Amino acid sequence: MCGIAGIIGLESVSDAPCRISKMLQRLEHRGPDASGIFEASNAVLGHQRLSIIDLSNSGNQPFHSQNGRFTIVFNGEIYNYRELRSQLSDYNFITNTDTEVLLAAYMRWGNKCLQSLNGMFAFAIWDAERETTFIARDRLGIKPLYYAQSQGAFVFASEVRAMLASGLVEPKLNRSKLSDYLLYQTVHAPHTLIESVKMLMPGHYLEISDNEVNTHQYWVPWQTPHSDRDEFKVKKQVRELLTSSIEARLVADVPFGAFLSGGIDSSLVVTIMSQVMDRSVDTFNVSFDESEYSEARYARMIAEKYACNHHEILLKPDDFLNSLPEALAAVDHPSGDGPNTWIVSRETKRQGVTMALSGLGGDELFAGYDLFKRIPEIADKEWLLSFPKELRSLVAWIYKTYKPGMPSEKMAQVLTSDYFDLKHLYPLMRKVLLEPQVSGLLHTKSGGNAVFETVANWEEFHDFESLAVLSRISVAEMSTYMQNVLLRDTDQMSMAHALEVRVPFLDHRLVEYMVHVSDELKFPHRPKRLLVESFQDLLPNEIVDRPKMGFVLPWERWMRGELKSFCEERLSALGEHDAFHAGEIQKLWSTFLSSEKLSWSRLWPLVVLSDWMMKNDVQ
């Protein structure tokens, strides 16, 4: 796990090594163990290393092929590198790193090597003979890769801040994507909040030569169909695939453990780890409250059942509050979430751990969110569309009037919609604010609905429509909320502490299998039914039937109290930007302060955005 940077095309770029050095300084937190720069005729590559596999200096990067033709900078892990190494037996390996195996695989198979990789990765390979560059990102978007074409050069890095540090990228706000951010608390790839910076899409690679950049897609989630319909066989396969995924992610030459919240996903990861490891699992639970709402007792239950070396870290809410400025300083690209991951990662790293497994992805694959029930239920009521729209609008108005709040506003939009299909229902379910609120906040015109466009783009693949409804929702979840909020926040907030997080639920083999499982077997009549029943001998009922929680933090009280001036300063600064209506921001803030009708989570993304713009001098 590392940070990478590069500048390709040096004809119009002066002091490229110096620029890379500045970029690496912004990435040092991602890889504090070693730093390196490689200069070629028309490219400069940089690398910050966090040592996980083969801790010797021979694994430092940029890493060169023995003939000197190829140079690689690589961020991530290739979990099946030992298997690939055995397939490349005629290659004379000089290290025990997955980096060298990755480079050898590319030298042998070219871009087809991507189909053989099982891992999380973003890497660039410079070919000195052809003066070309190959850049790729993993299938699910676990590791980030940002890029820009500016001043005649192609610039890339693991973080937006490193891109800005190059001096080749202007810190100019991407106004056309502000509506995307306000609607969904993030900006969806390939776009970012910096106008000229894009994100390489998951499952894609770039080929760069002579200032020509070509993009190719090498993976879709449903590319490996199966016809398993027998319930026993499906459960057996789910069990084998998840167990295999976890086993593959236990390869490391540094101390490691697992996040343990006490929920189904993290509990299952720890349970399987305890069965396949030859030592006790180090588990980490951070809680802020010992009340009846605390998750700590559930985590403790699993830790005791499987004799884990459990680290229960109890923090007072004020401890978190005092750390909030530092957590916000770690934000590379803003979203409405992140500080929770920052605090968990900090406390885990303080225990001497460099890598941790997480249960992220279980909800997306196994229908863990309420919308997996709600969308099919609404779609089944398509007969409502036969009623005149005027009548449906009246019912919607009555519903909003007598039951005010965001859920009612969304249901009103459903009632007045012309379609009850996935590409119309799913984007609505994921909104943080609605279009009228966003339009009131912005001077700039909407840049369209990125979530709608993402789902619509998948529908262009003829075989997407053949997937069951829940599988299509899973693909939508993985392509939007998971990639652009959960994974992005997990990466930036864990790497702020040089902590690598591995996500076994996002093994591509498990993902490919699950998207072809029928709704009949997957429907969550109880929480994540298929997953639970595949491992029903391992999880206590108390874990399976417990309410879904998460950190219980007093955000409402903080934003009205201890954080009030902090929030007001940033909202005021945002109002001074000519992209925003200051009066509408103040109106939204006043509504929050005076009533319970507006959740803190609707305002917090605005605070984070303003703080990020101030810290990074975004104009």
Q: Which pLDDT band, with edges at 50, 70 and 90, does 290 fall under? A: low
Any domain includes 194: yes
DSSP string for residues in 164-223: HHTSSS---B-GGGHHHHHHHSS--TTB-SBTT-EEPPTTEEEEEETTEEEEEE---TTS
180: its two tokens: 């995307």
pLDDT at 1: 72
Say yes or no: 493 and 347 in one domain.
yes
213 φ/ψ angles, rounded to the nearest 5 degrees: -120, 120
pLDDT-based confidence at residue 385 (cuts at 50, 70, 90): confident
Grade residue 443 by pLDDT with cuts at 50, 70 and 90.
Answer: confident
**293 and 414 both lie in a single domain:** no
Q: Quick one: pLDDT band at residue 555, thresholds 50, 70, 90?
A: confident
Residues 429, 318 share a domain: no
pLDDT tens for 34-84 read 999 999 999 999 999 999 988 899 899 999 999 999 999 999 999 999 999
Can you tell me the distance from the alpha carbon of 258 to that of 270, in angstroms, rounded to the nearest whole number? 7
Q: Which of 229-243, 375-389, 471-485 has the lowest mean pLDDT?
A: 375-389
> Is the per-residue pLDDT at 219 higher than 80?
yes
Whether pLDDT at 18 is above 70: yes
Same domain, 378 and 436: yes
Give the pLDDT score at 274.
Answer: 96
Distance between CA atoms of residues 412 and 425, nearest Å: 12
Which of 119-123, 461-465, 506-510 is predicted least confidently? 461-465
CB 426 within 8 A of CB 375: yes
244-286 tens-digit pLDDT: 999 999 999 999 999 999 999 999 999 999 999 999 999 999 8
Q: How far apart are CA 193 and CA 187, in angstroms?
A: 7
Does 595 have pLDDT greater than 90?
Answer: no
Is 142 in the same domain as 87? yes
Quick one: 489 and 362 in the same domain? yes
Average pLDDT over residues 410-416: 87
Q: Is pLDDT above 70 for 550?
A: no
pLDDT of residue 401: 83
CA distance 407 to 399: 10
* Poorest-pLDDT segment among 145-154, 387-396, 571-580: 387-396
Single out the catalytic residue among 2, 113, 308, 567.
Answer: 2
Mean pLDDT on 410-414? 87
Last residue of a domain, one of 166, 189, 217: 217
601 lies in a domain? yes
Are 451 and 506 within one domain? no
Residues whose CB is less than 8 angstroms from the CB of residue 356 and which lie 6 or more positions away in sequence, other chains included: 256, 257, 258, 259, 284, 345, 348, 494, 499, 500, 501, 502
Instruction: Please count the structural domains in the chain.
Output: 4
242 domain-assigned? yes
- Maximum C-alpha span of the chain: 74
Single-letter amino acid code for the residue at 93: F
Check residues 545 and 345 and name the one with the higher pLDDT.
345
User: How is residue 582 written in tokens?
Assistant: 């200051």
Among 357, 377, 368, smallest CA distance to 514 is for 368
Specify the pairing of strand 63-64 against strand 70-78: antiparallel
CATH number for position 317: 3.40.50.620
CA distances from 166 to 7, 15, 20, 155, 171 (A): 9, 10, 7, 8, 11
Residue 291 has what pLDDT?
A: 64
* Domain residue limits at 455: 371-475
Check if the beta carbon of residue 262 is closer than 8 Å to that of residue 295: yes
- Stated pTM of the model: 0.95
What confidence tier does 239 reach under pLDDT thresholds 50, 70, 90? very high
Asked if pLDDT for residue 509 goes beyond 90, the answer is yes
Domain boundary pick from 475, 505, 531: 475
Residue 618 Cα distances to 38, 63, 179, 195, angstroms: 30, 34, 17, 10
Quickly count: other Cβ atoms within 10 Å of residue 462's Cβ: 7
Q: Say if residues 503 and 240 touch (Cβ distance below 8 Å).
A: no
pLDDT surpassing 80 at residue 364: yes
337 has pLDDT over 90 = no
**Could you tell me if residue 324 is inside a domain?**
yes
> Known catalytic residue: 308?
no
Q: What is the pLDDT of residues 108-148, one digit of tens each?
A: 999 999 999 999 999 999 999 999 999 999 999 999 999 99
Q: Quickly state the pLDDT bin for 551 (edges 50, 70, 90).
A: low
- Distance from chain centroid for Cα 91: 35
Last residue of a domain, one of 544, 569, 603: 544
In three state form, how does the secondary structure of 413-432 look?
Answer: HHHCCCCCCHHHHHHHHCCC
For residue 148 the two structure tokens come to: 């820009």
Contact between residue 367 and residue 528 where contact means Cβ atoms under 8 Å apart = yes
How much is the pLDDT for 405?
79
Both tokens of 361, joined, read: 């992805």
User: Distance between CA atoms of 563 and 566, rounded to whole angstroms?
Assistant: 5
